[in-house]
Amino acid sequence: MIFGKIQYLNLLPFHIFMKSYIKNSAAKMSMEYKRGVPSKINKEFHARRVDAAFISSISAQKSKHVGLGIIAKKAVQSVIVIPSKRSKSDFESASSNVLAKILNIKGEVLIGDKALKYSLVQSDYIDLAKLWSTKYKSPFVFALLCYHKDKKLYKNIEKEFLKHRVKIPQYILQKAAKKTGISAKDILKYLQLISYDLNPKTQKGLKKFYKEAKKVI
């Protein structure tokens, strides 16, 4: 299996889970990773150079997916806009750039760990997920776990991941803190803002996003 790996903090619990899942799999799965930012992984997936990945929701409309996503319950802190008269997209992003257009927010879009780091020390930003939640009364889905084949495998991954509460070992937490410049305490607080369950309420929000996206793309 070749898996597209986005190395943002919001997927840290999933990557820890997958390491355990592969190790304990009856089939003794082997996995290779292709790493990159969301926009790069989107391209790799659609070119079929990876078998599965969390794909930006705006790019996943026609792809097969399971009930896992990267979902902001309300505020998320890692998808923000720094207001200004001129808009600037984040080249790492896909869904977030479209979301800023839907919400008619002008400025510089920042996503991922660099956005989280900024939001922890600055206040001059707009949290796009929070604004979406306020306006549409639903969580926002930034990405979906998509696959090309082996549906049974990914449905089982979905089932097992949602069933278990992933504990992040301290050594991994400290390593992530050192890499990102974000404290372990702030990482744990941030992860509480994230959900992975594509439940009916979340699916309703996703459909609303697709409907609104057609108006701005």
Is residue 52 included in any domain, yes or no? yes
Residue 217 pLDDT exceeds 90: no
The structure's pTM equals 0.94
Q: Provide the pLDDT for residue 32.
A: 86
Q: Provide the pLDDT for residue 106.
A: 96
Residue 90 pLDDT exceeds 70: yes
Is residue 119 included in any domain, yes or no? yes
Is residue 57 included in any domain, yes or no? yes
Is residue 192 included in any domain, yes or no? yes
pLDDT digits (tens, 9 = 90+) for 118-152: 999 999 999 999 999 999 999 999 999 999 999 99
**Pair 95, 10: CB distance under 8 Å:** no
Residue 207 pLDDT exceeds 90: yes
Q: Provide the pLDDT for residue 26.
A: 57
Q: Provide the pLDDT for residue 25.
A: 67
Structural domain boundaries, residue 152? 2-196
User: What Cα–Cα distance (Å) separates residue 137 from each residue in 66, 69, 205, 209, 213?
Assistant: 23, 18, 8, 12, 17
Is residue 211 included in any domain, yes or no? no
Is residue 126 included in any domain, yes or no? yes
Is residue 104 included in any domain, yes or no? yes
How many separate domains does the chain show?
A: 1
Residue 27 pLDDT exceeds 60: no
Q: 33: Cβ–Cβ under 8 A, 6 or more apart, which residues?
A: 2, 3, 4, 5
Can you give the CATH number for the domain in which 24 is found? 3.40.190
Is residue 207 included in any domain, yes or no? no
